[in-house]
Amino acid sequence: MKKQLSNATLYLMSISAGLIVANLYYNQPLLHLISESFGVTESAVSNVALATQLGYAGGLLFINPLGDMMSNKKIVQYNFILMIISLLACAMSSSLMLLITSSFFIGLSSSLPQLFVPMAAQLSDDEGRGRAIGIVMSGLLIGILGSRVISGLLGEQFGWRVMYYVAAVMMLLLFILLQFKLPKITPKYNGSYWELMRSLWYYFKTERSLRLAAIRGALAFAGLSAFWTTLVFLMEDSFGYGSGITGIFGLLGIVGALAATVVGKMSSKVSNNKIILFSSILLVLSWMIFLFSTYSLIGLIIGVILIDLGLQSLHIINQHIIFSKNPEARNRVNTVYMVAFFIGGALGTTLGAISWENYGWLGVSVLGGVLSIGILVVHLFSRRKATI
């Protein structure tokens, strides 16, 4: 690994990625509390999670490509200001519409972790790149998992607004730390912003491996988003549990976070095809278990472990594949991939809410199973086409 990326810096980026991305997921265990607070349906309140994910996709698409053009320090400054204001606006929202709007801007400004991943890849040599990506992604994933646990417990004890106030304070402290410790990177790209954005289509059009990774990631995250959006309703209806227990379920996903580091190290030794196939099978298996777990906590626990392990393994290998090419445009290829990833998440949130509203947990499980089988079909078809 190059000297520019010390272990201290790498773990700072990992921790920062986790704390920032947590902003996207605080609302999921709180949806039931929010629906009661504003007197709206579960389907209507799911738009809070949807707006956050759409905002994140917007940040990835319009802000993160600037990592190939503008100093990372400037991007961090502007995003943190918007992030803190948006968190406070959510905490003080007087209507569901204000909460949805503020949530969109939380998502928009919380896309920073996807700058840290290409940064880790850029500051690493070929041998250490998989490890660096895996460590940053582990921090990001632990942040996702921890956010659900913390918000679920705080929401149950103190109300859902407290979580947003706490998050705003954490972001202020993190912003101060990054100002002093984050290494500055000044890219050499000299084109205009319009040319930068237009090149996204060029990479998507010319890089087959990027297109396939984007499809796999979008389908996988759609399934996971459908699960987490509706789990809080299932726990309430089938078991009578509140947001606290739902949030604790997030701890089970620690297996997926640990897998990120392991898969990152394995990526230079095991073929990409085998890791993708293994991950896809795990996702299909998880939804088969969910299908029969409407009233089974053990089934849900096993399913959560498998779905997180499958998704994160697939996600890491996808990023390892796309970062192995185009070193001058890693932020842009990551943008293409992650925009597709979170559009898939937003679609999964919407379809999950509709499936729950009309068909209950059976509908959600069938939806997730179809999405996961889609990953297998895409992968096997692309392998067959490449062989021919």
CATH code where residue 288 lies: 1.20.1250.20
Task: Give domain status of residue 300, yes or no.
Answer: yes
Task: Give domain status of residue 185, yes or no.
Answer: no
Task: Give domain status of residue 29, yes or no.
Answer: yes
Q: Show the domain range for 131.
A: 7-180+193-387
Q: How far apart are CA 313 and CA 134, in angstroms?
A: 10
Number of domains, the chain: 1
Question: Could you read off the pLDDT tens digit of each residue along the chain, which spans 388 residues?
Answer: 344 567 788 889 899 999 999 999 888 888 888 888 888 887 788 888 889 988 988 898 898 898 888 888 889 999 999 999 999 999 999 889 999 999 999 999 998 888 888 887 777 766 666 677 778 877 887 888 788 778 888 888 898 899 999 999 999 999 999 988 888 877 777 888 999 999 999 999 999 999 999 999 999 999 999 998 898 889 888 888 876 676 677 677 676 666 666 665 665 567 778 889 999 999 999 999 999 999 999 999 999 989 988 888 898 889 888 887 777 788 889 889 988 987 898 899 889 989 999 999 999 999 999 999 999 999 998 877 665 5
Largest CA distance in the chain: 60
204 CB-near residues (< 8 Å, 6+ apart): 210, 211, 214, 336
Task: Give domain status of residue 288, yes or no.
Answer: yes
Task: Give domain status of residue 188, yes or no.
Answer: no
Task: Give domain status of residue 187, yes or no.
Answer: no
Task: Give domain status of residue 275, yes or no.
Answer: yes
pTM of the complete model: 0.76
Task: Give domain status of residue 35, yes or no.
Answer: yes
Residue 1, pLDDT score: 39
Assess contact for 170 and 19: CB atoms under 8 A: yes
Residue 251, pLDDT score: 72
